[in-house]
Amino acid sequence: MVRGSWPLDAEGKPRSFPEYSEARGELIARMGEYCSFCESQLNASLAVEHVLPKERHPEYELDWNNFLLACVNCNSTKGDKPIKLASYYWPDRDNTARAFSYGADGVVRPAPGLTDEQQQIAQRTIGLTGLDKTPKTHAKASDRRWMHRRDAWGRAERARVCLATHDTEAMRQSIVEQATALGFWSIWMTVFAADLDMRRRLITAFVGTPVDCFDARTLEPAHRPGGAL
Containing 200, the helix (H) or strand (E) segment is: helix 196-205
Q: Between these two residues, 144 and 176, which has the higher pLDDT value?
A: 176
150: pLDDT strictly greater than 70: yes
Q: Model confidence at 139, in pLDDT bands (50, 70, 90)?
A: low
Q: What is the pLDDT of residues 78-111, one digit of tens each?
A: 999 999 999 999 999 999 999 999 999 999 999 9
Helices marked H in 63-195: 72-78, 116-129, 145-165, 169-182, 185-191
Q: What is the pTM of this model?
A: 0.94
HEC profile of 130-148: CCCCCCCCCCCCCCCHHHH
Taking 80 as the threshold, does the pLDDT of residue 160 lie above it?
yes
Structure confidence at residue 137 (pLDDT): 76
The band of 163, judged by pLDDT with boundaries at 50, 70 and 90, is very high
pLDDT digits (tens, 9 = 90+) for 179-215: 999 999 999 999 999 999 999 999 999 999 999 999 9
pLDDT in tens, 28-71: 999 999 999 999 999 888 999 999 999 999 999 999 999 999 99
Burial of 208 (0-12, 13-18, 19+ CB in 10 A): buried
Q: How far apart are CA 131 and CA 89, in angstroms?
A: 13
**CA dist., res. 101 & res. 108, Å (int):** 6
| Per-residue pLDDT, 141 | 63
